[in-house]
Structure 1
Amino acid sequence: MKLTGNTILMTGGGSGIGQALAHRLHEAGNTVIVAGRRKDALESAIAGRPNMHALTLDIESAEGIADFSDRLLKAYPDLNVVINNAGIMRFEDLTKAHDLTDAEATITTNLLGPIRLINALTDHLVKQQDAVIINVTSGLAFVPLTTTPTYNATKAAIHSYTIALREVLKGKVEVIELAPPAVQTGLTPGQETRPGYQPLDEFSDEVMALLSQQPTPPEILVERVRFLRFAEANGQFDDTLVKLNAFAAQARNG
């Protein structure tokens, strides 16, 4: 991936990892479009930044994504990089029957949303120079947090989908997976300052350094996520599962 001179779409760009990386990419010399549900958050993210733009996107709606892609390509026909970052994380209790509203919303946002958006933009991207799709997954795609089972499952599914997409678009569109560790963002209540989670600026610095490598790695893995990504391959899955969930419980309750 070239790091400058792109026209980049960042979904979920109004806060957290999406906003931080959108700012870094903008500072690197790219035109950046941030997209999300909340217009006020998007406008705040682009304030004072020429060549940074905002478009509202209802990632839960098939019709909304179709409308968004039409508006996007009409306004920014040079679009060549799509970063699927929008996502939600909800806690669930699997020990008893419970309302599945959160699980269904998680699947729609985290899994169907990126699939629908990629489908809407593929015909355009394959015609572009230096075209790239980056799908944001999670370290929890590889070792699950038991309190967020549907979130983990959607990220594992996007990991698999990304592998298939990379293979079929080889030579046409570069396909990259970004798997963050636990980062200090607003993804869940209190997470912005949670001890033991990676500071957002530190994470963003590391991601940009990895993206600048030539060739760009197909998986962007900061140091803190590598123990999850390779736990099974290293024969440490069971131990990592126990330690991860103990750490997460202590961090939330500490």
Structure 2
Amino acid sequence: MAVALILVLVAIGSVVFHLVSPWWWTPIASNWRYIDNTIIITFWITGAVFVAVVLFMAYCIYRFRHQSGRQAHYEPENKRLEWWLTVVTGLGVAAMLAPGLFVWRQFITVPDDATDIEVFGQQWQWSFRLPGADGRLATSDTRLISPDNPLGLNKEDPKSHDDVVIEGGELHLPVGKPVKALLRSADVLHNFYVPEFRAKMDLVPGQISYIWFTPTRTGEYEILCAELCGVGHPQMRGKVIVQEASDYQAWLQDQASRSFARLAPASN
């Protein structure tokens, strides 16, 4: 009886803790509310299964507790029960996967009007590259990295001259404009994560991965590395500042001194 009661209290306590818990996600600041909805659906499904299983265990412990003279009934298999368990489990897994597949399709389908930017990770700092007046990013290669070319831009690419290079600084973005972030790593595996944006993706050495999102709220948000990348991993932090379009354009004009042509005069 005591064990059955404890299990019931565990089930009830888990539900109550979930409903009143102060540890919840940060307020969203991008278009990826779909991800929040998917997590909530998963919580409801897995939570319902958890409560059902725990309560069923409590019932079985109480209903089939030891009693003098009672003998166990041996039943090696039950085809009907097996079919029910298979069907219910399959439907539950499908219910959890289906929303995620729809969201994943949206996650990898970049809008045509998205602006390309670059996020560059290395032990243990974030750097960024924004398109200049031509609105296009130049090609790059980690083998081209040097003191005057920290992101490895291709000096032979004419589009590189006006690219804005921000080394270890702040990433500024305009509110309400979709952005495609190209992700590169100079050394080991990193992960670009802004909790308020809900979007995150690995930076894999030798590859260019990407995510896209639309900032929906102005403000300052912390950039975290969500992949263990060495002893300095906890200090690998940055900042993204989402601004109104006019403020962003004014900031971008002030970044003319950070153009790649000025940082690496030899590229002219």
Q: Which TM-score bucket, shorter chain as reference?
A: under 0.3
Q: What TM-score comes out, normalization by structure 1 length?
A: 0.23
| Larger helix percent | 1
Larger-gyration structure (1/2):
2
Question: Normalising by structure 2, what TM-score?
Answer: 0.22
